[in-house]
Amino acid sequence: MSKTITPLIAGNWKMNGVSASLAELTALGQALTAGPAPRAIVVICPPATLLAAASAHGASSGILTGGQDCHPAKSGAHTGDISAAMLADAGAQYVIVGHSERRANHGETDELVRAKAEAGFAAGLKPIICVGETEAERDAGQAETVVERQLAGSIPDSEATFVVAYEPVWAIGTGRTPTNAEIAQMHARIRGVLTARFGERGASVNILYGGSLKPSNAREILAIEHVNGGLVGGASLLAKDFAAIISAV
């Protein structure tokens, strides 16, 4: 892991969690404050219904929060959607955009993801911009081409801070992960794309790995060059698993 970038470990609770689940956040806070200070920025992205409470809960233990998605518009007639400003108002500092589940289930294009990231910037949030190939694309030898296309289309031209999460779609929630060499190759490629486009600034962007990250594989994956943290789904739901991943940094 790069020495100049503070690692970031973000938990994506997806559509899981009711108010009782905040007990996991309390337990996580206790775990983080009991031992040595975490060497990572810790972010939890709960469902929007829990965001304000989670932000208040996390404050005393240094746990930051993020939204899981936002609408590109500031406000308006968009029933059921949530704006970046609303997330910020609920205490969020980050917002996940372009998660593969949104790209697949809601037909989100790179163009839309980019607009959402811009909305995040406008609200003062740091977007976590997700990219990643499907299994068919990897099998066809197109993984890097696909990820490069997603990076080019999804990241806005801006001076604002953003995070990239490389999440191979076939590794999400499946228990399967790429080999360390495959992760290293893709992260180096992403770093190359970011520095080519953003210069020095691109060298300091956190590039997270996501996809079946768990306590048993976190240490080796998080040690790979240009892996500057992780985006964690299933294993972020239980405080003890998430704390173990954070302490693997």
Residues lying near ligand PEP in the complex (CB under 6 A): 12, 167, 172-173, 210-213, 231-235
We find the least distance from the C-beta atom of residue 75 to ligand PEP, in angstroms, to be 28
We find the least distance from the C-beta atom of residue 182 to ligand PEP, in angstroms, to be 16
| Residue of closest CB approach to ligand PEP | 233
Smaller CB separation from ligand PEP, 212 or 228: 212
203 Cβ contact partners less than 8 Å away, ≥ 6 residues apart = 191, 194, 195
109 Cβ contact partners less than 8 Å away, ≥ 6 residues apart = 103, 153
Do the beta carbons of residue 66 and residue 128 sit within 8 Å?
A: yes
* The one catalytic residue among 99, 108, 137, 226: 99
Do the beta carbons of residue 231 and residue 209 sit within 8 Å?
A: yes
Smaller CB separation from ligand PEP, 78 or 176: 176
Instruction: Reply yes or no on whether 101 is catalytic.
Output: no
We find the least distance from the C-beta atom of residue 114 to ligand PEP, in angstroms, to be 19
Do the beta carbons of residue 233 and residue 210 sit within 8 Å?
A: yes
We find the least distance from the C-beta atom of residue 40 to ligand PEP, in angstroms, to be 16
Instruction: Reply yes or no on whether 159 is catalytic.
Output: no
Tokens representing 66 are: 């993020």
76 Cβ contact partners less than 8 Å away, ≥ 6 residues apart = none
Smaller CB separation from ligand PEP, 195 or 217: 217
Smaller CB separation from ligand PEP, 85 or 129: 129
* The one catalytic residue among 108, 167, 187, 226: 167
Do the beta carbons of residue 93 and residue 65 sit within 8 Å?
A: yes
For the annotated catalytic residues, the residue numbers are: 99, 167
